[in-house]
Amino acid sequence: MKPNRFLCVLAVIVLALSLPLSSYAAQTKIEIPQRVVSEEELLAAAQPQDAQAKEPQMIKDENLPISINAKAAILMEASTKRVLMAYHEHEKLPPASVTKIMTLLLVMEALDAGKIALTDQVTTSAAAAGKGGSQIWLKEGETMTVDELLKAAAVGSANDACVALAELIAGSEEVFVSMCNERAVQLGMKDTHFENCTGLDDSAQNHVTSAYDIALMSAELLRHERIQNYTTIWMDTLRGGKTELVNTNKLVRFYNGTTGLKTGTTSKAGHCLSASAQRDGTHLIAVVLGSDTGALRFEAAKAMLNWGFANWEIVTPKVDPSGIADVMVLHGLQNSIKPVVPEAQPVLIPKGKQSEITQQIDLAANVEAPVEKGQVLGTVTLKLGEEELGRLNLTAAGAVGRLTFGQAFLRLLRAMAG
């Protein structure tokens, strides 16, 4: 048999074998286990095959002690919101799916307020099912719990899950986005305007935020500790194991102390990330916007976090009560009152400087009766060099009544008799 004829026969046999198999699959509606496609895979699929990859540019700025690849970046401590390093932190840029931090925040606030519950069943609308990009392929009419949708949004960055949650809370994505923008104003996010709850930006005209604003909303989300039940998941499943979730934030698996938080990738935004990690009570947030590759954004975030943990720490200063004297009470039922020394709040300082923290006491020499319980008698100011770390009020432990004329006269007589 000639080679060409042999190939033709072989092709006919393969085609004949494939037809019954396709027909059988269609008749039995075989469901193939689904794997959520990552944002990077979606972006790569959209790129032209012959596109030339540009050489990544590493940025070394005077405000950055490290080199990174990004259009903007910031490192912030979560509890104090102190900025430790920043580069173009107020530049308005598209954030891609990092947008979902605000969506997750409003969901967590609704949960804490008792407006919704993790066990609530959510029915998928046509609008939610029709969302593109990264998704869990929700079908119109399909139901999932809030818990499952939260997992899909936080781990798999599922756009359809976000819209379903938005509709549960606000009735529609449009109203939910208005809530997002209102919350942004409340948090002091002056560089932000949201047009959707997902970060999809192919048709968005002015969906922007900044590295600084992302750090602010990230810090607010981290106040809801339950969110870490989702943002620290590496792998999980939905639909009884049929839909596989793999966290788009690779730091969850590879970086010690990671607490979250969210990745984002589109052709317009580039590769974005808000990465949070906690070690020894110090909680840091590294935001990276517009990196050239997914790997470079993770490297930038790791470098920022490493520098932060190496150079800064959260400590709780001890107030020395030995220098705090009792305060004289004029015309009171008792002659003096002992100030209550409050516990200092944790503060962020350069690592190894705790022993250099000083205290300055400002205390009233005396107070006029009556004295109320909790009345401020003075302050303790904690300082590190010239920097004020905090100011604590010294207060009255209890109330002290004022002497009446008769009580004062009797006290005078006793004094004279003694």
Is 134 considered catalytic here?
Answer: no
Is 81 considered catalytic here?
Answer: no
Q: Is 62 exposed, middle or buried (0-12, 13-18, 19+ CB in 10 A)?
A: exposed
Q: Write out the two tokens for 97.
A: 């799916």
The alpha carbon torsion through 172, 173, 177, 183 (nearest 10 deg) reads 60
d(CA 232, CA 12): 52
d(CA 92, CA 76): 18
Q: Write out the two tokens for 155.
A: 């781990």
Is 97 considered catalytic here?
Answer: yes
Closest to 99 measured CA to CA, from 253, 204, 226: 204
d(CA 9, CA 14): 9
Q: Please give the span between the terminal C-alpha atoms of the chain, in angstroms, as a whole number.
A: 135
Neighbouring CB atoms inside 10 A of 188's CB total 12
d(CA 351, CA 186): 32
Sign, Cα dihedral of 144, 147, 150, 155: negative
d(CA 304, CA 210): 17
Q: Which among 38, 125, 134, 157 is annotated as catalytic?
A: 157
Q: Which among 38, 71, 100, 210 is annotated as catalytic?
A: 100
Q: Which among 38, 97, 210, 274 is annotated as catalytic?
A: 97
Would you mind telling me the total number of residues written for the chain in this entry? 418
Which of the residues are catalytic? Answer: 97, 100, 157
